[in-house]
């Protein structure tokens, strides 16, 4: 009551002083941004910053994107920067690589990475290997992005994880964001990178909101490619993951914390070049390791991590063999009960952790 009468009597400056004081007392509302919005923001900012950047793919322009990731971009930037292509991945991926060689900075969207198999020759033979084959003469500053891995009920041809396949190739950089901050920072870094970068998004994560720290709201917010992040500190076991399973690992960690087991959860963020140093440092602290991924076990991301740990200083710190948690070694079945058992669940992660710790 007194404040109101004060407002009426005092001049403007003192009123604004009152208002300012009010803001100090209340906590700032946290900014929640979905992964989809974060990618959209990242692309929008880079399109604005550099006119050589453009986006092409199926339904990216007038349809606003098959998964609405490019919503509003065509309206803002028009036909020359946001381009709808016919349904031929081999064709438009080839055009994109050519554009990159000629000096533009294309973002080539695959509606899902399953469709990139149609164009994989362009990704590997035309993009990844060219800088090397040309003796450092011809760079290919291209980004291949799109949803990767399992979705829900889309069956065998639409659920494959390509992290291992693309991570296998020298000349490519491969990133795999988990949350909104990852998504924005990594897509911006990918676009600014002069090398071909594969950005493995996840359809099930697009609609998930995360708190967006204030640094992430800056137009120059970048996450370095090749650096992992420790999402949760722990002392008993190192849990390494990428993309959506990072969330499952954090869930498992919360459950186990109640039993006195503290997990250190590492979000890889980049598949290639892999930040093995962060993983090694963690293993040297916790003496135990599990890896968690959505892809198939054979020749997978976890297999590579285990091999590298054996080759490095961390091996001597292991008190138990490293364990991999992966997708089941089958083409993705359609029926729900079978699909649920073909992807790593929180219970599988908890089981693997306890087995490793011999509990």
| Residues engaged in binding other proteins (CB under 8 A) | 58-59, 62-63, 66, 84, 86-91, 114-115, 117-119, 151-158, 297, 323-331, 333-338, 341-345, 348, 351-352, 355
∠190-208-163 over CA atoms, to 5°? 45
> Whole-number minimum distance, CB 263 to other proteins, in Å?
16
Q: Which of 58, 158, 248, 280 is catalytic?
A: 158
* β-bridge partners, 57: 84
> Whole-number minimum distance, CB 117 to other proteins, in Å?
8
Helices 2-9 and 12-25, packing angle to 10 deg: 150
289/343 with CB nearer other proteins: 343
Contact 189, 222 (CB under 8 A): yes
Q: Is 151 helix (H, G, I), strand (E, B) or coil?
A: coil
CA-nearest of 342, 344, 341, 306 to 322 is: 306
> Whole-number minimum distance, CB 109 to other proteins, in Å?
13
∠182-185-189 over CA atoms, to 5°? 130
Would you call 236 a catalytic residue per the annotation? no
Query: Could you tell me the CA-to-CA distances from 241 to 4, 28, 163, 264, 322 in Å, in that order?
Result: 55, 32, 12, 11, 13
155/230 with CB nearer other proteins: 155
Query: Which residues have CB under 8 Å from 89's CB, separation 6+?
Result: 110, 115, 116, 118, 119
Would you call 248 a catalytic residue per the annotation? no
Q: Which of 37, 45, 89, 181 is catalytic?
A: 89
> Whole-number minimum distance, CB 59 to other proteins, in Å?
5
> Whole-number minimum distance, CB 161 to other proteins, in Å?
13
79/215 with CB nearer other proteins: 79
Tell me the C-alpha distance between 262 and 322, whole Å.
17
15/303 with CB nearer other proteins: 303
Tell me the C-alpha distance between 163 and 117, whole Å.
13
7/330 with CB nearer other proteins: 330
> Whole-number minimum distance, CB 158 to other proteins, in Å?
6
Helices 245-257 and 346-356, packing angle to 10 deg: 60
Contact 241, 266 (CB under 8 A): yes
> Whole-number minimum distance, CB 46 to other proteins, in Å?
25
Query: Which residues have CB under 8 Å from 135's CB, separation 6+?
Result: none
Exposure b/e, 221-230, CB count within 10 A at least 16 = b:
bbbebeebbe
173/242 with CB nearer other proteins: 242
114/189 with CB nearer other proteins: 114
Q: Which residues are catalytic?
A: 89, 158
């Amino acid at each position: 009551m007194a404040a109101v009468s004060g407002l009426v009597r005092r001049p403007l400056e003192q009123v604004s002083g009152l208002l300012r004081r009010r803001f100090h007392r209340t906590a700032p509302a946290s900014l929640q941004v979905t992964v989809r919005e974060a990618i959209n923001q990242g692309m929008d900012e880079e399109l604005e910053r550099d006119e050589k950047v453009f986006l092409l793919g199926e339904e990216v322009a007038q349809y606003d994107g098959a998964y609405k990731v490019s919503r509003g971009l065509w309206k803002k930037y028009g036909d020359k920067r946001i381009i709808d292509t016919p349904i031929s991945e081999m064709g438009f991926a080839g055009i994109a690589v050519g554009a990159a060689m000629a000096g533009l900075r294309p973002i080539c969207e695959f509606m899902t990475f399953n469709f990139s198999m149609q164009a994989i020759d362009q990704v590997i033979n035309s993009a990844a290997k060219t800088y090397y084959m040309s003796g450092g003469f011809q760079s290919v500053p291209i980004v291949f992005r799109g949803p990767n891995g399992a979705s829900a009920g889309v069956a065998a041809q639409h659920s494959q994880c390509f992290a291992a396949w693309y991570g296998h190739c020298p000349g490519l950089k491969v990133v795999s964001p988990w949350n909104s901050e990852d998504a924005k920072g990594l897509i911006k870094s990918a676009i600014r990178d002069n090398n071909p970068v594969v950005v493995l998004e996840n359809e099930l994560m697009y609609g998930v909101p995360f708190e967006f720290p204030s640094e992430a709201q800056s137009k120059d917010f970048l996450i370095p490619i090749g650096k992992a992040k420790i999402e949760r500190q722990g002392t008993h076991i190192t849990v390494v993951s990428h993309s959506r399973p990072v969330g499952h690992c954090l869930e498992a960690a919360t459950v186990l914390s109640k039993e006195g087991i503290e997990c250190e959860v590492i979000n890889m963020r980049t598949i290639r070049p892999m930040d093995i140093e962060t993983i090694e440092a963690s293993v040297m602290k916790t003496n135990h390791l599990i890896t968690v991924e959505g892809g198939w076990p054979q020749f997978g991301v976890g297999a590579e991590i285990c091999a590298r740990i054996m080759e490095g200083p961390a091996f001597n710190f292991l008190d138990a063999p490293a364990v991999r948690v992966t997708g089941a070694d089958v083409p993705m079945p359609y029926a729900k009960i079978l699909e649920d058992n073909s992807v790593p669940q929180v219970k599988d992660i908890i089981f693997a952790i306890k087995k490793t710790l011999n509990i």
